[in-house]
Chains A and B, each alone.
Chain A
Amino acid sequence: MIFEIIVVCIGIYITISIAHAYGSSLLTAKINSAEDIKMMINTLAAVPGDALVEYPKNVTEFSFILTPNSVSVFENEQTDQSPAVRAFFLPQGYTAEGSVIRISPICLEKKSKRIILEACPQQE
């Protein structure tokens, strides 16, 4: 009888631990941020001329790295072994660059054929 109770308690503890681990992690927010930035870059690449767009979410928990082919989102840039990475394909001659570390808000700026990820300029 006691053995059965112990086994049931262990089973309950394991399932609650799994649910808590997924629920308390920032994994979903990290992936959503990477997908959002990817879509913003695809949209910016299609805008003729220059543009500046602010990412409206608070992303102080994350760090971002933008390369010409992908965007990576880290929870902790020194220890995160599984960043959220999303690839995109820019037209020929276009490039993407920039990085931000735990700053909010962040902006994407298109200058001619360059897309730059940076902290938003201070508004006066």
Chain B
Amino acid sequence: MNHKAQFDLARKTIYWMIAGVIITAVVFSFAVVIAQYKNNLTKIPPELDAELIALRFVNLPECFAYLDSETNSLHPGVIDLAKFTNEQMLKCYRTDAQTGIKTLNFRMRLKGLNQEVATNYYFNQDDFTLFKEVLVKSSSESSDLVPDLLIIYVQEKI
């Protein structure tokens, strides 16, 4: 083999070593881009998820909605202050130990009364906030309903 042929062979070997690496990287990048595009197609806005979960807080007697024990009628949108506790929050929305920090967690505050409750894996990492206008029934003896603002701080996964 003469010098020119040897030079050509060496040059092409080096070229294809580099080109092989680059082509492989391009193909992998292409697969990653498509996978990311697919993830974006299936992504649900966390605000929507949180809004749907937060519906239960003011609508269900198992959460904080006021249930008249005499007439057994439920009042959605009316917070029973006697239920506004962390223990009731655990009955309303409780995440498990394995996935608790990877899912939505909430801290709720009644602005006027300055009372707070939080879910079991809430760690003060607020990502966004929801607001709900509510009425608050402070005691079973009184029939007064006090308007208030329910501020819901939402923590996405940590």
Q: How near does chain B come to A22, taking the closest CB pair, in angstroms? A: 5
Contact of A52 with B by CB under 8 A: no
Interface size class of B (residues with CB under 8 A): 35 or more
CB-CB < 8 A to B93: which residues of A? Answer: 89, 91
A11-31 interface code vs B (CB 8 A; 1 in, 0 out): 100110011001000011001
Q: Which of B118-137 contact A (CB under 8 A)?
A: none
Which of B16, B23, B34, B52 is the one whose CB lies under 8 Å from A46?
A: B52
Classify the interface of chain B: helix, strand, loop or mixed: helix
A91 touches B62 (CB 8 A): yes
Contact of A39 with B by CB under 8 A: yes
Q: Which of A70-102 contact B (CB under 8 A)?
A: 87, 89, 91-94
B52 touches A27 (CB 8 A): no
Q: How near does chain B come to A101, taking the closest CB pair, in angstroms? A: 23
A93 vs B91: C-alpha distance in the bound complex, in angstroms?
8
A43 touches B59 (CB 8 A): no
A92 vs B61: C-alpha distance in the bound complex, in angstroms?
11
B27 touches A48 (CB 8 A): no
Which of A18, A22, A87, A92 is the one whose CB lies under 8 Å from B99?
A: A87
A28-49 interface code vs B (CB 8 A; 1 in, 0 out): 1001100100010011011110
Contact of B117 with A by CB under 8 A: no
CB-CB < 8 A to B16: which residues of A? Answer: 7
Q: How near does chain A come to B101, taking the closest CB pair, in angstroms? A: 13
B44-71 interface code vs A (CB 8 A; 1 in, 0 out): 1000110011011001111101000000
B95 touches A89 (CB 8 A): yes
B52 touches A18 (CB 8 A): no
Classify the interface of chain A: helix, strand, loop or mixed: helix
Give B contacts to A, CB under 8 Å: 16, 19, 23, 26-27, 30-31, 34-35, 38, 41-42, 44, 48-49, 52-53, 55-56, 59-63, 65, 74, 76, 90-96, 99, 103
Give A contacts to B, CB under 8 Å: 7, 11, 14-15, 18-19, 22, 27-28, 31-32, 35, 39, 42-43, 45-48, 69, 87, 89, 91-94
24 chain-A/chain-B pairs, Cβ below 8 angstroms: A7-B16, A14-B27, A18-B30, A18-B34, A19-B34, A22-B34, A31-B42, A32-B42, A35-B44, A39-B52, A42-B55, A42-B56, A43-B55, A46-B55, A48-B59, A48-B76, A89-B93, A89-B94, A89-B95, A89-B96, A91-B62, A91-B92, A92-B62, A93-B91
